[in-house]
């Protein structure tokens, strides 16, 4: 019953990790971001780790290679690499270490620990003469009096503990920073991720106690096997924390996609040729692709409206904002919304473009950095029906009709 439970848990975690890892790998092909690649690789390592623990796979690896306990070595290596992935992800979340020279410096500093540990573990394993049955999760207790195996597991657990401690401290440092990019959702995910990684320390302690007991003739196999449940809990909690971020990002993309619809209709509605041709059939199910297409179409539509743009609506918004009738208004977003609405209305009414010498300075907010463009356009879309924009659009037409018709500011 106990072994059936361990096998069921391991197979469940392996299946979940493999499925989510495949999803992340496909996402990384569309958007080759390092975080996505690392997440996919970490999930694949988890899948291999928990698959190797199941008795059928464990024994099959030994029979195919002629090395009965080879799966045990692979399990330890995969577990250490899984924590290594978590360690690197924590650095990628940390603003000072996010990229460039600082990240490369951190990688060079920790690579000898991971690489050296894997090499030494393999060497100690190769120097060991094994006897007795090959039982999953019990290599450490079955050979607790073999010096090479004791050295192997002491080194493995020390390296694992060092990596886990560094990862948890990096997560705590990120939370203590209160960085601008640390949203409440990311805060919860980082906290859950830190707890998940810390659970590996529980596994390390339990395994050490089981080894010490076995060395003194006490049978603590159940403790060594039960410790594996903490590793399973660690994998599931870490996966949940990473998936939470993805789900939140997809929800935000969906909200932004629909929030941009009024702006898209304003700038593209008069020129349907700006709408991109449909992509692959399954692209319609990908919110990120749909949002990217919508942003591209809005940019193209705004460029198409440029001949009809004038500075009059922006001046009117600025005048109303200075009057204090609309406190808390984002003036640049309101100016952009008024300018686009005014230009779309003129084009829709068949008015001629503004003269080339009208002195139009450019669409307000068009110099927003690429990283902030999406948020800016969502804000512009929300200002399309704002009172300050509606009022500003009436001000130009209070002037002589000739000026309204010509589009001069």
pLDDT of 286 reads 67
- Hey, is 280 helix, strand or coil? coil
Helix (H, G, I), strand (E, B) or coil at 322: helix
Q: Taking residues 151-158, report their average pLDDT.
A: 94
Structure-block tokens of residue 180: 């601008």
Check pLDDT > 70 for residue 272: no
Joined tokens for residue 58? 């464990």
| This prediction's pTM | 0.73
Q: Across 248-376, where does the E strand assignment appear?
A: none
Q: How confident is the model at residue 407 (pLDDT cuts 50, 70, 90)?
A: very low
d(CA 60, CA 71): 9
DSSP state of 353: P
What is the separation, in whole angstroms, between the first and last Cα of the chain? 82
Torsional sign, CA 196, 198, 204, 206: negative
User: 50-79: buried (b, 16+ CB within 10 Å) or exposed (e) per residue?
Assistant: bbbbbbebbbebbeeeebbbbbbbbbbbbb
222-232 burial, b at 16+ Cβ within 10 Å, e below that, comes to ebbbbbbbbbb
Instruction: Evaluate if residue 2 carries a pLDDT over 70.
Output: no
Judge whether 182 and 175 are in contact, CB under 8 Å.
yes
- The dihedral region occupied by 131, where left means phi > 0, alpha psi between -120 and 50, and beta the remainder, is beta
Position 185 pLDDT exceeds 80: no
Tell whether the model's pLDDT for residue 380 goes beyond 90: yes
Tens-digit pLDDT profile for residues 308-365: 888 889 999 998 988 877 888 899 999 999 999 999 988 888 888 877 656 678 888 8
Residue 386 is predicted with a pLDDT of 93
| C-beta of residue 121 within 8 angstroms of C-beta of residue 155 | yes
Query: What is the predicted pLDDT for the residue at 368?
Result: 87
- Rounded to the nearest integer, the mean pLDDT of the chain is 84
Q: Give the span between the Cα atoms of 360 and 124, in whole angstroms.
A: 74
* Cβ neighbours around 12 below 10 Å, total: 13
Angle value at C-alpha 288, between 290 and 189, nearest 5 degrees: 155
């Amino acid at each position: 019953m106990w072994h059936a439970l361990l096998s069921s848990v391991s197979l469940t975690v392996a299946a979940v990790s493999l499925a989510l890892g495949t999803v992340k790998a496909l996402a990384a092909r569309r958007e080759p971001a390092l975080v996505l690649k690392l997440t996919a690789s970490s999930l694949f390592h988890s899948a291999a780790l928990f698959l190797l623990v199941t008795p059928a796979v464990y024994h099959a690896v030994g029979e195919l290679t002629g090395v009965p306990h080879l799966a045990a070595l692979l399990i330890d290596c995969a577990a250490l690499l899984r924590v290594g992935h978590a360690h690197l992800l924590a650095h990628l979340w940390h603003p000072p270490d996010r990229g460039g020279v600082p990240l490369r410096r951190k990688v060079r500093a920790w690579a000898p620990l991971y690489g050296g540990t894997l090499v030494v573990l393999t060497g100690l394993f190769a120097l060991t003469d094994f006897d007795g049955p090959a039982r999953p999760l019990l290599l450490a207790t079955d050979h607790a009096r073999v010096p090479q195996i004791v050295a192997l597991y002491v080194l493995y657990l020390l390296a694992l503990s060092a990596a886990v401690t560094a990862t948890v401290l990096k997560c705590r440092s990120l939370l203590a920073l209160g960085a601008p990019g640390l949203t409440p959702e990311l805060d919860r995910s980082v906290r859950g991720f830190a707890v998940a990684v810390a659970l590996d320390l529980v596994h390390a302690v339990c395994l050490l106690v089981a080894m010490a007991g076995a060395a003194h003739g006490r049978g603590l196999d159940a403790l060594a096997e039960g410790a594996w449940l903490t590793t399973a809990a660690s994998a599931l909690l870490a996966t949940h924390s990473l998936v939470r971020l993805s789900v939140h990002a997809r929800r935000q993309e969906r909200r932004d996609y629909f929030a941009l619809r009024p702006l898209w209709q304003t700038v593209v509605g008069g020129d349907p040729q700006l709408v991109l041709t449909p992509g692959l059939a399954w692209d319609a199910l990908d919110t990120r692709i749909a949002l990217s297409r919508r942003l591209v179409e809005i940019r193209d539509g705004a460029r198409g409206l440029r001949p009809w743009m004038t500075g009059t609506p922006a001046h009117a918004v600025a005048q109303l904002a200075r009057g204090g009738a609309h406190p808390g208004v984002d003036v640049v977003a309101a100016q952009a919304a008024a300018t686009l609405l005014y230009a779309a209305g003129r084009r829709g009414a068949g008015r001629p473009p503004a003269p080339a010498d009208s002195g139009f300075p450019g669409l307000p907010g068009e110099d927003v950095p690429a990283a902030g463009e999406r948020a800016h356009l969502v804000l512009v879309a929300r200002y399309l029906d704002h009172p300050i924009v509606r009022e500003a659009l009436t001000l130009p037409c209070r002037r002589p009709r000739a000026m309204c018709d010509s589009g001069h500011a």
